[in-house]
């Protein structure tokens, strides 16, 4: 099963467009995990097990592991998701981007070492910087298009001959880079009008949408702008609002309640 | 001493604009290193020790370490460079790019965990994606501007109102992002005319120039296009042509000869 097929199956099976982002910050963990060498893994596994039937995918952010020398815990976490929750794809959020020979090494890291099902990547270095990921036929590559941060407009909003740069990227990916159906795009929830523009450009291409929750994106506007004809096509990411919904040892149950509420809110507008 | 100061001092002390890129590929190592758990570290340390008086900086590429789960060897390598060859700055080539809260984690990884003096980053997500690195006042951030790979033109060569996107990035970094003198730019050696354009835009800003050697860039044209008034301003990177100059156990001496020849070739045109 390819990433795209697994995602479509999870949309349906769990009736969910919710992606839970795994950005573990030990400073925000409940006190009882303090000082445990595997605290990051324990924290994330509990979140995963409490929410796996409510999501269409999980998205660990590699920086949060790398800053704590927790590569082994990241690897164990992804293996845990695959073993306990088969069919739920894992996106490694790494925003890679480099020349072909180096991208081959990154692809090895992401797909062979960590066993992720998809990776996020930057389009700035062009098509050949993405091809080494596409050489893994069952994996997905999710290209940055329009990001949800304030500085996102610095480049992405530039006019490149009657359209914005992010629109050009959407077109490029949909028409030239997505030859084998492995691509998707990142489009931030803080700009619903722009999600709609991207949707018109890319047809049914899946969109990963960060920015609801802590970043303030509007769920109704996001879903209405980004859904495909069959009410899917989106991975709507929430990280902090779910991971840190509770502060005490019941954080996993609190995360489940937050994930469930977010999933229902999303489904109301599909 | 800041990254920029260390770089300027190394240009002068070693009379060199050469950056040796550390892209270790175990398949290309001499046979006697085969099967050693610290082969990557041993290989790179020998290269570093054989070339440290001929370079202005070293540039380990993190993908080549991460693909082999060699984070500890990367950390030990950077510590080795700092201990044995003080004053030679280390650029961690990672091409990071993410929203502020995640970029803080990447900055922690690069500067606190690994102790690198500078990092490469992508400009696609804008200024706030770079600020967490700039919060470390003695460190450098080297932004992708014009890359040496074939797909580099896909985005970077787009016209954004009478100039190319890479020229806009050069201007943005030089005038708005480089407020504290910590920034530099990546400009590929395969396009000497474009190095000259970037130089005209950015004044004395340091340029990291990959693409000579294996990628075929012309040294004379590169130096003449990119040097500053005092014959410096460049970190001209060579990786494979130096690392794999020799195939047997004398690879470090072969690397020294290749580095020395490249440095002299560069100096001929300064």
Task: Report the half-sphere exposure of B70 (CA within 13 A, side-chain side).
Answer: 27
Query: CB–CB of B66 and A149 under 8 A?
Result: no
Question: What pLDDT, on a 0 to 100 scale, did the predictor assign at position B176?
Answer: 97
Question: What pLDDT, on a 0 to 100 scale, did the predictor assign at position B191?
Answer: 86
Query: CB–CB of B124 and A144 under 8 A?
Result: yes
Q: pTM (2 decimals)?
A: 0.97
Query: CB–CB of B168 and A158 under 8 A?
Result: yes
CA distances from B182 to A155, B141, B228 (A): 20, 6, 17
Q: Which of B28, B95, B108, B127 is catalytic?
A: B95
- Interatomic CA distance for residues B243 and B46, integer angstroms: 10
User: Residue B150: which of A63, A128, A168 has the nearest Cβ?
Assistant: A128
Those residues with Cβ within 8 angstroms of residue B1's Cβ, 6 or more apart along the chain or in another chain: B9, B87, B138
Q: What is the distance of C-alpha A122 from the center of its chain?
A: 14
The model's pLDDT over B103-141, given as tens digits with 9 standing for 90+, comes to 999 999 999 999 999 999 999 999 999 999 999 999 999
Closest C-alpha to A72, from A38, A108, A26, A36: A38
Residue written as token pair 């009410």 = A231
The three-class DSSP label of residue A129 is helix
Nearest Cα residue in chain B from A64: B105
Q: What is the distance of C-alpha A162 from the center of its chain?
A: 30
Stretch (H or E) spanning A118:
strand A118-121
- Interatomic CA distance for residues A158 and A145, integer angstroms: 13
- Judge whether B108 counts as a catalytic residue: no
User: Residue A149: which of B126, B150, B168 has the nearest Cβ?
Assistant: B126
Listing from the earlier edge strand, what are the strands of the sheet with B91-96? B57-60, B18-22, B234-238, B207-209, B183-187, B140-146, B118-121, B91-96
Domain residue spans of chain B = 3-268
Closest C-alpha to B261, from B241, B244, B240: B241
Shortest distance between the Cα of A39 and any Cα of chain B, in A, equals 17
- Is residue B185 within 8 A of residue B204, CB to CB? The reply is no
ipTM over 0.90: yes
CATH code, residues A3-268: 3.20.20.70
pLDDT in tens, chain A (270 residues): 999 999 999 999 999 999 999 999 999 999 999 999 999 999 999 999 999 999 999 999 999 999 999 999 999 999 999 999 999 999 999 999 999 999 999 999 999 999 999 999 999 999 999 999 999 999 999 999 999 899 999 999 999 999 999 999 999 999 999 999 999 999 998 889 999 999 999 999 999 999 887 666 799 999 999 999 999 999 999 999 999 999 888 999 999 999 999 999 999 999
Segments of chain B with pLDDT less than 50: none
Those residues with Cβ within 8 angstroms of residue A260's Cβ, 6 or more apart along the chain or in another chain: A54
Question: What pLDDT, on a 0 to 100 scale, did the predictor assign at position B190?
Answer: 84
């Amino acid at each position: 099963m390819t990433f795209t097929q697994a995602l479509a199956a999870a949309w349906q099976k769990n009736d969910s467009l919710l992606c839970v982002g795994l950005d573990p910050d030990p400073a925000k963990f409940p006190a009882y995990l303090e000082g445990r060498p595997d605290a990051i893994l324990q924290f994330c596994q509990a979140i995963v097990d409490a929410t796996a039937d409510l999501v269409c995918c999980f998205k660990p952010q590699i920086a949060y592991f790398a800053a704590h020398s927790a590569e082994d815990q990241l690897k164990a976490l992804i293996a845990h998701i695959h073993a306990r929750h088969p069919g739920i794809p894992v996106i490694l959020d790494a925003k890679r981007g480099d020349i072909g020979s180096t991208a081959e090494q990154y692809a090895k890291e992401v797909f062979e070492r960590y066993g992720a099902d998809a990776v996020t990547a930057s389009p700035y270095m062009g098509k050949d910087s993405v091809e080494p990921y596409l050489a893994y036929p069952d994996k997905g590559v999710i290209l940055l298009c329009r990001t949800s941060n304030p500085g996102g407009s610095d480049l992405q909003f530039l006019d490149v001959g009657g359209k914005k740069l992010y629109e050009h990227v959407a077109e490029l990916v949909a028409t030239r880079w997505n030859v084998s159906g492995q691509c998707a795009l990142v489009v931030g929830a803080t700009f619903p009008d722009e999600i709609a523009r991207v949707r018109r450009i890319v047809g049914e291409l899946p969109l990963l949408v960060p920015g609801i929750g802590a970043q303030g994106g509007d769920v109704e506007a996001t879903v209405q702008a980004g859904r495909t004809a069959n009410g899917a096509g989106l991975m709507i990411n929430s990280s902090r609002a779910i991971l840190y919904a509770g502060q005490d040892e019941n954080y996993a149950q609190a995360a489940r309640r937050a994930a469930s509420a977010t999933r229902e809110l999303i489904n109301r507008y599909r």
